[in-house]
């Protein structure tokens, strides 16, 4: 397993520590709620949804996270500012995890962080995301509203190869994050399809090796486009997806977007097993878990 020569950055967001050498801290797992097509949503514009089902999903994820020792962030997705604010308020009341402010609309994301500016929820919010298309106005607003944590998406049509993603991060995204006043930088190396997960994993290794930032990716973006495997149904789909999710961990990933939160019962055990193997192997490099709740001590 990998041990990086450069100093690895560690951040505390809410009650979760993320970053460091492989084997020190468990992989943070990120499940999504209220995404496009999520059946519990009744009105995507206003953010009306089945609260009982949402609470059930959060409780079930909390239970499996406690069982494996993997911390969680919650990816809260909304189409509009009104919807995103309503979703975030609900999730913030029902769990203590850090929350990703996620929307295809920059305006919706900014409306949400403006709403929570100065509140007790604000330190738990993670802006998702800053990419190469971020405008000066967006960056200025993030600084004005006091956003301290953000995901940087190191992928574009012009930066697909791992070395180009690293260059995009270094030359464009990190200066943008600095202008926005971001202190806790999480790097998402991007995923296009299943084969590209290997390139995303290699990009994770490069970012960790060169810059030391907490880094990960979203394999879940690809598994639901994998028509042949989806057609096979369970358990083949879940087994194959577990391999896709855990490959980036083997090259140093600190976080993984595992898709819809309903995947938690199988995504967490898969990630925890990889974490435990990485941590045990880390002893050969004098790297040991820094927490007694690490999966190495929980799942065996």
Report d(CA 158, CA 34) in Å as an integer.
30
**257 assigned to some structural domain:** yes
pLDDT of residue 258: 98
**233 assigned to some structural domain:** yes
List, for residues 245-296, the tens digit of each pLDDT value.
Answer: 999 999 999 999 999 999 999 999 999 999 999 999 999 999 999 999 999 9
pLDDT of residue 2: 85
Task: Please give the tally of structural domains in the chain.
Answer: 1
**1 assigned to some structural domain:** no
**3 assigned to some structural domain:** no
pLDDT of residue 173: 98
pLDDT of residue 221: 83
Per the structure, the complete domain to which residue 204 belongs is given by 10-294
Which of 213, 222, 218 lies closest to 201, judged by CA? 218
Token pair belonging to 194: 């299943």
pLDDT of residue 1: 73
**192 assigned to some structural domain:** yes
Degrees, nearest 5: CA angle 190-191-196: 125
**299 assigned to some structural domain:** no
Report d(CA 268, CA 72) in Å as an integer.
10
pLDDT of residue 266: 97
**109 assigned to some structural domain:** yes
Q: What is the pLDDT along the chain (300 residues), one digit of tens a residue?
A: 789 999 999 999 999 999 999 999 999 999 999 999 999 999 999 999 999 999 999 999 999 999 999 999 999 999 999 999 999 999 999 999 999 999 999 999 999 999 999 999 999 999 999 999 999 999 999 999 999 999 999 999 999 999 999 999 999 999 999 999 999 999 999 999 999 999 999 999 999 999 999 999 999 989 999 999 999 999 999 999 999 999 999 999 999 999 999 999 999 999 999 999 999 999 999 999 999 999 999 999
For 69: left if phi > 0, alpha if psi spans -120 to 50, otherwise beta; the answer is left
How far is the CA of 43 from the CAs of 86, 155, 269, in angstroms? 12, 31, 33
31 beta partners: 74, 259
**172 assigned to some structural domain:** yes
Domain CATH for 40:
3.20.20.20
């Amino acid at each position: 397993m990998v041990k990086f020569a450069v100093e690895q950055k560690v951040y505390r967001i809410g009650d979760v520590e993320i970053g460091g050498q492989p084997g020190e801290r468990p992989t943070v797992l990120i499940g999504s709620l209220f995404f496009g097509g999520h059946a519990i949503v009744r009105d995507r514009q206003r953010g009306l949804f089945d609260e009982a089902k949402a609470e059930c999903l959060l409780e079930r994820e909390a239970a499996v996270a406690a069982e494996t020792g993997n911390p969680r962030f919650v990816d809260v997705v909304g189409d509009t500012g009104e919807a995103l604010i309503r979703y975030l308020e609900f999730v913030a009341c029902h769990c203590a995890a850090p929350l990703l402010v996620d929307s295809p609309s920059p305006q919706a994301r900014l409306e949400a962080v403006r709403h929570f500016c100065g509140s007790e929820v604000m330190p738990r919010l993670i802006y998702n995301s800053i990419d190469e298309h971020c405008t000066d106005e967006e960056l200025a607003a993030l600084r004005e509203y006091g956003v301290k944590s953000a995901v940087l998406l190191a992928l574009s049509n012009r930066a697909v190869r791992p070395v180009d993603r690293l260059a995009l991060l270094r030359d464009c995204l990190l200066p943008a994050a600095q202008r926005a006043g971001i202190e806790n930088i999480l790097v998402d190396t991007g995923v296009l399809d299943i084969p590209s997960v290997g390139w995303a994993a290699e990009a994770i290794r490069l970012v960790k090796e060169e810059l030391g930032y907490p880094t990960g990716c979203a394999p879940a973006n690809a598994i639901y486009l994998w028509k042949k495997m989806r057609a096979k149904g369970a358990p083949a789909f879940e087994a194959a997806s577990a391999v896709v999710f855990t490959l980036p961990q083997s090259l140093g990933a600190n976080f993984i977007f595992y898709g819809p939160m309903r995947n938690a019962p199988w995504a967490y055990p898969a990630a925890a097993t990889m974490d435990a193997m990485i941590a045990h192997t880390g002893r050969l490099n004098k790297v040991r878990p820094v927490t007694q709740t690490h999966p190495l001590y929980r799942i065996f």
